[in-house]
A and B are shown apart, each in its own frame.
Chain A
């Protein structure tokens, strides 16, 4: 009985690893740095067909083609920027999860920073206004009026 269970568990494991290998192929790298670059590059590009999957996470044929191309270009000794340009030239800016900084994307990158700065400015102005208000001393006339009001309340 125990033997059957162990065999079944082993078979399940084998089948599971087969399913994983069908999606993402195993590749050989000369050194761990290239392997890391390959992983980062394929994680930073969006599959053009399946819209919200990175190419390292997608079963679409085009993603397999793109992974293969990234691998080939890495083997050719191209830099990350060259590889990204190679892909963008063919599939467009769309495939980049991190759009590049250029005139078209100034608003995209700049807006959050602008909003944070604006928020900081508002906070500074509010603190200042509050400090000014509390620091302002009462004039003699105002003090007299307050005293009068307090006393009236007490005597009634």
Chain B
């Protein structure tokens, strides 16, 4: 009897491991959380896209819940998500852009063509702020609470469905 039980241990153990690994197969490695979750927005110092004499730093992200969108003129998905970002701005959500690895000229062209939902655009031509944010491909969107802490991260294109089902509830949660 004891022997039977011991023999049973093998298939049970195997099934357990198989289930565990099978579950791993359906995980999407690109859907991982940002390493900056629940951490302060990284310190930075930069100029703005529109005014090369205006200097901004991380205090820009304090005082109000803010959506920070990392974009560039070279990024097709950024163009596609512009209507959704404009809608979010219309709802009274504070938006700050990070113009990532771009030139002033192209960045401004982009905004005049696709609309400008951003209160301010941080100019990041070398991608330094992007690097500190762990950005590895635009667009990426961060939700920063009133204390300047990163609370939510959205990788890639923001669809109208993402706005309804993820972004708006998160904004409400941290307001």
Tell me whether A91 and B30 are in contact in the complex, defined as CB-CB below 8 angstroms, given that A65-B127, A65-B131, A69-B131 are known contacts: no
The reply on B36 being an interface residue by CB < 8 A is: yes
Residues in B neighbouring A29, C-beta threshold 8 A: none
Residues in B neighbouring A51, C-beta threshold 8 A: 29-30
Q: Which chain B residues (110-145) contact chain A, with CB distance < 8 Å? A: 127, 131-137
Complex CA distance for A49 and B130, rounded to whole angstroms: 14
Q: Are A49 and B34 touching (Cβ within 8 A)?
A: no
Contact flags A90-106 to B (C-beta < 8 A → 1, else 0): 11111000000000000
Q: Are B127 and A90 touching (Cβ within 8 A)?
A: no
Complex CA distance for A51 and B136, rounded to whole angstroms: 11
Determine how close the nearest CB of chain B comes to the CB of A62; give it in whole angstroms: 4
Residues in B neighbouring A49, C-beta threshold 8 A: 136-137
**B35 touches which one: A61, A65, A69, A90 (CB < 8 A)?**
A90
Binding site of B, secondary structure by majority: helix, strand, loop or mixed? loop
Interface size on B, residues (CB 8 A): 16
Binding site of A, secondary structure by majority: helix, strand, loop or mixed? helix
Determine how close the nearest CB of chain B comes to the CB of A86; give it in whole angstroms: 10
The reply on A89 being an interface residue by CB < 8 A is: yes
Q: Are A62 and B32 touching (Cβ within 8 A)?
A: no
Determine how close the nearest CB of chain A comes to the CB of B45; give it in whole angstroms: 17
Complex CA distance for A49 and B127, rounded to whole angstroms: 15
**A92 touches which one: B30, B33, B131, B137 (CB < 8 A)?**
B33
Q: Are B137 and A62 touching (Cβ within 8 A)?
A: yes
Q: Are B32 and A92 touching (Cβ within 8 A)?
A: yes
Residues in B neighbouring A91, C-beta threshold 8 A: 35, 134, 136
Determine how close the nearest CB of chain B comes to the CB of A72; give it in whole angstroms: 11
Determine how close the nearest CB of chain B comes to the CB of A113; give it in whole angstroms: 15
Determine how close the nearest CB of chain B comes to the CB of A118; give it in whole angstroms: 9
Q: Which residue of B lies closest to A68 (CB)?
A: B131
Determine how close the nearest CB of chain A comes to the CB of B63; give it in whole angstroms: 25
Complex CA distance for A93 and B29, rounded to whole angstroms: 12
Most buried by B among A49, A90, A92: A90
Q: Are B131 and A90 touching (Cβ within 8 A)?
A: yes
Most buried by A among B35, B127, B133: B35
Residues in A neighbouring B134, C-beta threshold 8 A: 48, 90-92
Complex CA distance for A81 and B35, rounded to whole angstroms: 17
Complex CA distance for A51 and B101, rounded to whole angstroms: 22
Give me the 8 closest cross-chain CB pairs, A-B, nearest first.
A92-B35, A62-B136, A48-B136, A90-B134, A49-B136, A91-B134, A49-B137, A94-B32
Besides the contacts A48-B134, A49-B137, what 5 more A-B pairs have beta carbons closer than 8 Å?
Answer: A51-B30, A61-B101, A65-B131, A90-B36, A92-B134
